[in-house]
Each structure stands twice: as structure tokens, then as C-alpha cells.
């Protein structure tokens, strides 16, 4: 069974970070290729927040890529299966004017086919690009995926991140905070996919 990486319902709106470009274009992170980067990717939080509460999370969301806490990066640094699928890129966050390092951007290196297009309902976003981005009315995940993976981008909807049951269990065991770890299936109306 596979799951979509989804934000936790407990993740406050005020914790959405602004992606600050450091020369590495966000588009590069959608290519499923390793990136050579000498500068950390920077994220900034404009709103005043409780740093103690904010820093207790492990997954963070932004208007750019997803990134993880130093604690989760440390836990995953010894997981060779995870590191085969995901490159960890240095990130720095700026909160209440203070800079914090040790965070890692997730650069997904795998692309797998995971949506059952025969059972899903969708239309092309652009009529003249029938094989381009889709607008899903109903999305059904494939039940039998033979490929072994921890995390990967979804081939049919590249902006969606999928995770394996074993990685989900790892996150549950380690009390990872910030993502939805319940067994939910995709059933959203008017999903825009890229």
C-alpha cells in the first residue's frame, strides 16, 4: 500500500514558510535528479510565532519544496533505502529574525506510476496538451505497485509525493510531527496536478 504525503490537519497556517531562492531554482527539484548545491536553501517565516512550538515539528511546508527538521534528518541519515530515493539538501530557516541551520530539503529522486488512470476521473488542464497536467475530479491510487521505494514523486501528478507503508510505519514509530499518518485515501474534488 502507498500513501500520499499530506500535511497534518494540526499544522498551523502560520507555519507556512516562504521559499527564498538561493540560485537553485525550485524547478530543478521537480526533475528527480541529484543537485549539486554549495549554498543552503533558505526559508523565511514572516509571522511572529512561538519558536518552541514551531521547532517541535519534523515536516515543514512552504510555497516551494518540503523540508524536514534536524531531528528527522538525523533519524533518516542511516536509512539507506530512504537515501536511495531522496537527496537531503542543506536548508536554513529564518524565524522571528533568527537563523536556524541543520534543516534538510527533500529532493525526490524517484518517479513512479501510482495513479490508476482508468479508475480516476480527470481532464487536461490545457485542451491543447492532452498529455500535460491534469485536473483530477477523482483520483484512485494503484493497488499493486511492484516497485520498492520509500518516497517518490507520482509520475501522473509530479507535484504529489508518495510514501511506502514501511516509511509510514517508521514515521509513526518515531512520532514524526507535521504530516498526516492516518490511513486515508485520496478523495478530493478539483485537484490540480502538475
pLDDT tens readout for residues 123-135: 988 989 888 888 8
Q: What is the pLDDT of residues 164-190, one digit of tens each?
A: 999 999 999 999 999 998 765 443 333
**DSSP 8-state secondary structure symbol assigned to residue 74:** H
Residue identified by cell 488512470 is 117
Question: Residues 6 or more apart from 41 whose CB is under 8 A from it?
Answer: 19, 20, 22, 24, 64, 65, 67, 89, 90, 91, 92, 105
Residue identified by cell 519534523 is 58
pLDDT, residue 190, reads 33
pTM to 2 decimal places: 0.85
| Nearest alpha-carbon partner for 66 in 38, 95, 88 | 88
Amino acid at each position: 500500500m502507498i500513501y500520499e504525503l499530506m500535511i497534518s490537519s494540526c499544522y498551523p497556517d502560520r507555519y507556512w514558510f516562504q521559499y527564498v531562492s538561493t540560485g537553485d531554482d525550485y524547478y530543478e527539484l521537480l526533475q528527480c535528479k541529484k543537485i549539486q548545491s554549495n549554498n543552503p536553501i533558505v526559508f523565511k517565516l514572516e509571522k511572529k510565532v512561538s519558536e518552541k512550538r514551531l521547532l517541535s515539528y519534523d515536516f515543514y511546508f512552504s510555497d516551494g519544496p518540503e523540508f524536514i527538521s534536524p531531528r528527522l534528518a538525523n533519524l533518516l541519515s542511516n536509512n539507506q533505502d530512504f537515501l536511495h530515493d531522496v537527496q537531503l539538501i542543506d536548508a536554513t530557516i529564518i524565524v522571528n529574525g533568527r537563523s536556524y541551520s541543520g534543516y534538510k530539503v527533500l529532493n525526490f529522486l524517484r518517479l513512479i506510476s501510482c495513479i490508476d488512470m482508468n479508475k480516476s476521473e480527470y481532464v487536461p488542464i490545457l485542451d491543447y496538451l492532452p498529455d500535460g497536467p491534469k485536473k483530477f475530479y477523482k483520483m484512485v491510487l494503484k493497488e499493486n505497485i511492484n516497485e520498492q521505494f520509500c518516497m517518490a514523486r507520482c509520475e501522473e501528478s509530479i507535484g504529489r509525493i508518495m510514501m511506502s507503508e514501511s516509511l509510514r510505519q517508521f514515521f509513526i514509530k518515531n512520532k514524526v510531527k507535521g504530516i498526516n499518518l492516518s490511513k486515508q485515501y485520496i478523495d478530493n474534488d478539483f485537484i490540480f496536478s502538475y
